[in-house]
Amino acid sequence: MADAIDGDTTLADLGEFGLIGRIGEVVAATAPGEDVLLGPGDDAAVVRVRKGHVVVSTDVMVEGRHFRRDWAEAADVGHRAAAQNLSDVNAMGGRAQWLTVGLAAPADLPARWALDFTRGFAEECALVGAGLVGGDVTRADQIVVSVTVLGACTVSPVVRSGASPGDVLALCGRQGWAAGGLAVLGRGFRSPRVLVDAYRRPAPPYDAGPAAAEAGATAMIDVSDGLLAEARHLAEDSGVSIDVETDAFEVPEPLLAVGQATGADPLQFVLGGGDDHALLATFPPDVALPDGWTRIGSVGPTGDLPVTVDGAAYDGPTGWTHF
């Protein structure tokens, strides 16, 4: 097992097939479920597709852009890589079932890092009963992780384009915590620890997506790049406008502390922060919101601005852009 590997052993020492074998040992310690007919080790995995809609998503993480090894342990990166993919299926109103991972890494990367990453990844998958069923490894100048997730929706998937004027805007899950943790780490600090931990290991509300779909959510998205940025996606794809009401948010004390220490408005972490993977959705006005969901705004007809804050244009950060 991974614990038997010396800390100085690199991927080059272990070799491609040695690494794959060790990863297989980590994966074998999890229970992928009876619908996995063939797991890692062959040219492709084989899974049984049952009743419902199959949903598929892919995300990529690049060292130095999406994570830093001096800010997060390998297991943390594994949890983050799994969470952002599991959350994409959650945002469709579904439940993730199977994942594959492509790992590119330098030859001198400690083998223990790759195995600890796999362990963290598998632990996060286990939270929703999903299994790691395959993938690939290759050599690269830096660590790159590519994950593909497959899941299922038992009801019609909730897409981004279904919001209508008169709907309410609602949020489920913590929001702004990871952004606060990133701000702390970026200044060379490790406190408040609760925010740093939130950045290292998100806690998506995995049961909230299916519950929202069952309740009749009209549109939904996970907050990976920023709340206002994701609200804009919903507004533009649905052909509506969205107004976010700041009095709906109770900014937690750790974010207030970071705002005071950095001179930033703590509300900016909430409105512009990503990586918590909260869910943002719209619901018909006569629908009772499921447990854990909070009304944070309203949907109106299309207008000059796709998204406003308290009825006006917002000039603060709205979220992350990749290019």
Question: Do the Cβ atoms of 152 and 94 come closer than 8 Å?
Answer: yes
35 is in an annotated binding site: no
User: In the sheet that 278-283 helps form, which strands lie side by side, from edge to edge?
Assistant: 219-223, 278-283, 168-172, 293-301, 240-244, 307-309
- How far apart CA 240 and CA 226 sit, in angstroms, is 19
42 is in an annotated binding site: no
57 is in an annotated binding site: yes
118 is in an annotated binding site: no
Angle formed by the axes of helices 208-215 and 74-90, nearest 10°: 10
298 is in an annotated binding site: no
Q: Among residues 286, 276, 283, 274, which one has the least CA distance to residue 320? A: 274
320 is in an annotated binding site: yes
136 is in an annotated binding site: yes
224 is in an annotated binding site: yes
259 is in an annotated binding site: no
Q: Terminus-to-terminus CA distance in the chain, angstroms? A: 40
59 is in an annotated binding site: yes
Give 185's Cβ-side CA count (13 Å radius).
20
94 is in an annotated binding site: no
- How far apart CA 83 and CA 148 sit, in angstroms, is 12
135 is in an annotated binding site: yes
Residue ranges at the known binding site for Mg(2+): 43, 57-59, 88, 136, 222, 225
Residue ranges at the known binding site for substrate: 66, 275, 320
Residue ranges at the known binding site: 43, 57-59, 66, 88, 135-136, 160, 222, 224-225, 275, 320
Residue ranges at the known binding site for ATP: 135-136, 160, 224
